[in-house]
Amino acid sequence: MPILANICHFIWKKLKSSKVSNILRIFFGLSFVLYIILIMSAPTTPEAAKSACIFCNIANKLTDTEILFEDEEVCVFRDIKPASKYHVLVIPKRHIEDAKALVPADKELVERMLSVAKELLAKNNYSEDTARLGFHWPPFRSVHHLHLHVIAPEADLGYIARLVFMKNSYWFVSPEYVISKL
């Protein structure tokens, strides 16, 4: 919890020092509280998590979500709340809780996820230099299934999205950072 308190303090200082309206501060505060409630209400056992996991259902084609790409290990689909013109998620087909649950044997999987992300950016005429790729670091994730955000162009990110997907923050880390931890 000390990390969570530090993050809250950091964000509050940024909001307090900037020219942000009180309405936006209230909105951010309430959003953050709701986000924490979602995290606390997640399934507690691996079996319950997998059966309730929307991303497992998407990977297993139990929903009508359009799959943009898939192979034996990963699948890609659009984010339901896009932060920019191009916002997709690359997920492993195997249920992995989050980036902290990865083990050294998963290094190739994360490298594959990154490779697929870069291929899709190129295919859709976006440069890696103008894109933002990353994982939300626990406990700051809304879905308990590992997913790589691929967002382009990053210049189109709104104010809140810039906070949510802030590069190299406590809550949003690069694929390279995750790979270095394996």
- Helix H or strand E encompassing 77: strand 74-78
Token output for 107: 């290094």
Distance of alpha carbon 113 from alpha carbon 14, whole angstroms: 32
Q: Number of helices (H) and strands (E), helices first, in the chain?
A: 7, 6
CA–CA–CA angle 116, 152, 165 (5° rounding): 95
150 backbone dihedrals φ, ψ, rounded to 5°: -125, 110
- 95, 136, 145, 147: the catalytic one is 147
Whether 147 is catalytic: yes
Active site residues: 147
